[in-house]
Amino acid sequence: MKYLRIVATAMLAALVLFTVVPADERPETSLPHHLEHFLAFGFAGALLGIAFAMETLTMLIASACFTVGLECVQIPLPSRHARLSDVVVDTVAICAGVLLARIRLR
């Protein structure tokens, strides 16, 4: 379980890094923008749901706060822009990942 906590934390750190680097330095895939976000945040949510033993509601609230915080961090950055659509997709994805992992663990 300790290994999964390290991996989950590293995934969150990667999401932060990819959020704050200049837009032209961010890795991109050929996937549509929102699908790319959904997969990344959904995977992070699944890792969190498996790795950390906290109440599911607490995990969902913390995950939602994380995604909102990430978008807010982009506001003052010159090459980045915060979008409401990204907040919605990221929050739904990370929460879905947490919930699916928790259901799977039952």
pLDDT in tens, 77-102: 988 888 999 999 999 999 999 999 99
Tell me the average pLDDT across 18-24.
Answer: 88
39, 63 Cβ separation under 8 angstroms? no
Domain spans of the chain, in order of start: 2-21+33-105
Which 8-state DSSP code applies to residue 31?
S
Q: Which tokens hold the place of 78?
A: 């010159």
Rounded Cα gap, residues 47 and 5, in angstroms: 8
Assess whether pLDDT exceeds 80 at residue 1.
no
- Tokens at 58, concatenated: 């607490």
What's the predicted TM-score (pTM) here? 0.93
Instruction: Check residue 23 and give its pLDDT.
Output: 81
Q: How far apart are the first and last CA of the chain?
A: 16
